[in-house]
Amino acid sequence: MFRATIFLLAVIFAALGTPNGAAAGQNVPAGYKILDITLSPDHRYGVTVPDLDTPNPQNSLVEVETGRVLAVIQADTGYEHANRNAVLPSRWAKDDSLLLWEVDGRWSDTALVLLKLQNGAVAWQLDLLKTGQQAILALTKRAAPKKYQVAKEENRGSGSAYPDGFTIDVVAGADKNQAPSLPLKIHAYLTSNPKAIESLTNLDSRLEAVVDKDGKFRVTNFHLGTRPPAPGW
């Protein structure tokens, strides 16, 4: 319900270009806006969000008053497949030191990036989605190589949103309403058969990890077994 509501709001704002969802006094390139849901607690920073027809779309963390770009967020904007994606409310540390940027998709996020701010600059950013995907794929393949290969072949051609043909959801923190802090707990969930089709191979796993103060990703637990309860499925 939460994801569906945010999806509808974000699509309305982006498609209509109304000012209701955008921060006032913006100094950003044409074709972009800073949605209110991306603003830091003190409204000093925000993230640029492209209109649906903007070519080569990207998201940038900017200083709202000046338009100064602190960093281009290294992740898919989701707008290449916009009918299924929506910007979720940005999760900020209360002191503006951390930004958790998230774009929601059908089965999983299309973007999930953690940015560390220090002295008005980005000290580092970590693509949690890709890092979590790569980690759980490698561990699942190591744990069940034959079954992994069969499932991969069955799902061949699924598209770039499904690495190796698997559906993977990566979740940061235990509560989407909670401000991020370090170390940050990460959960990743994998399935080869999200629609539970009887003729397809079922291969499922889950992973737990933490991101430390230096932006290092460390796996703490991995489990191969029954289908995990991923929030987006």
Q: Is 168 exposed, middle or buried (0-12, 13-18, 19+ CB in 10 A)?
A: buried
Distance CA 117, CA 94 (A): 12
Distance CA 92, CA 87 (A): 14
Distance CA 148, CA 118 (A): 42
The DSSP letter of residue 21 is G
Quickly tell me which residue has 């401000």 as its tokens: 179
Q: What is the token pair recorded at 85? A: 């994606």
Distance CA 194, CA 204 (A): 10
Strand pairing report for 167-172 and 121-127: unpaired
Inter-residue contact 161 to 169 (CB < 8 Å): no
Quickly tell me which residue has 């006032």 as its tokens: 24
In this prediction, residue 26 carries a pLDDT of 79
Its pTM stands at: 0.86
Inter-residue contact 96 to 83 (CB < 8 Å): no
List, run by run, the mean pLDDT of 10-residue segments along the chain (233 residues).
43 39 78 95 95 89 96 80 71 97 85 96 98 98 98 92 93 87 96 92 96 98 82 65
Q: What is the token pair recorded at 73? A: 């967020």
In this prediction, residue 10 carries a pLDDT of 45
